[in-house]
Structure 1
Amino acid sequence: MDTVVPLKWAQHKKIVFLTLEAKNLSDTGRSINLTPEGHLHFEGTNKVTSQHYKLDLDLFDEVIVELTKWKVTDYSVQFSISKKKDNEKFWPRLTKENKKSNFITVDWAHWVDEDEAEEKGINYNPEEFDDLPEEGDSDDEEEAPADLDDLEGEKKEEEEKKEPEKKE
Structure 2
Amino acid sequence: MTTHPEVLWAQRSSNTNDERNIIYLTVNVPEIQASTLECNLTSTSISFKTKAGNPEKGFPEKSYAFDLQFFEEIDPEKSLRRLNTRSLFLTLRKKEKKEEFWPRLTKEKVRNAFLKTDFSKWVDEDEQDGVAVEAEDDMEAMGEMGGMGGMPGMGGMPGMGGLPGMGMGGMGDMDIEKLMAQMGQGGGAGAGPSGAADDGSDDGSDDDGLPPLEDVEPAK
TM-score, normalisation: structure 1: 0.70
Does residue 1:24 correspond to 2:31, yes or no? yes
| Deviations, residues 11-41 of structure 1 (Å, cap 9, x unaligned) | 011110011011101122210110012x101
| Deviations, residues 132-160 of structure 1 (Å, cap 9, x unaligned) | 9x8xxxxxxxxxxxxxxxxxxxxxxxxxx
Does residue 1:46 correspond to 2:57, yes or no? no
1:106-117 to structure 2, matched below 5 A, reads 106-117=117-128
CA–CA separation in structure 1 for the residues paired with 2:74 and 2:103: 15
Alignment counterpart, residue 103 of structure 1, candidates 102, 105, 114: 114
CA–CA separation in structure 1 for the residues paired with 2:2 and 2:93: 28
TM-score, normalisation: structure 2: 0.54
CA–CA separation in structure 2 for the residues paired with 1:10 and 1:74: 21
Where do 4+ consecutive residues of structure 1 move more than 2 Å? 122-132
Contact in 2 for aligned 1:3/1:54 (Cα 8 Å): yes
Identity among equivalent pairs (%): 30
Residue 42 of structure 1: SS of its match in structure 2? strand
In the other structure, the counterpart of 1:69 is 80
CA–CA separation in structure 2 for the residues paired with 1:64 and 1:33: 13
Residue 93 of structure 2: SS of its match in structure 1? strand
Residue 46 of structure 1: SS of its match in structure 2? strand
Shift, 1:90, TM fit: 0.5
| Deviations, residues 71-109 of structure 1 (Å, cap 9, x unaligned) | 111000000000001225100001011122111111111
Kindly provide the amino acid, as one letter, of the partner of residue 62 in structure 2. Answer: Q
1:1-168 to structure 2, matched below 5 A, reads 1-13=1-13, 14-37=21-44, 39-48=45-54, 49-117=60-128, 120=130, 122=131, 124=133, 127=136, 130=139
Change (3 A) 1:10 1:73: same
| Deviations, residues 45-96 of structure 1 (Å, cap 9, x unaligned) | 1132220000101111100111101111100000000000122510000101
CA–CA separation in structure 1 for the residues paired with 2:136 and 2:87: 19
Query: Which shows bigger deviation, 122-131 or 95-104?
Result: 122-131
Query: Over alpha carbons, which structure has the higher Rg?
Result: 1
| Deviations, residues 119-142 of structure 1 (Å, cap 9, x unaligned) | x4x57476356489x8xxxxxxxx
Instruction: Calculate the aligned-residue CA RMSD, in Å.
Output: 2.2
CA–CA separation in structure 2 for the residues paired with 1:128 and 1:88: 25
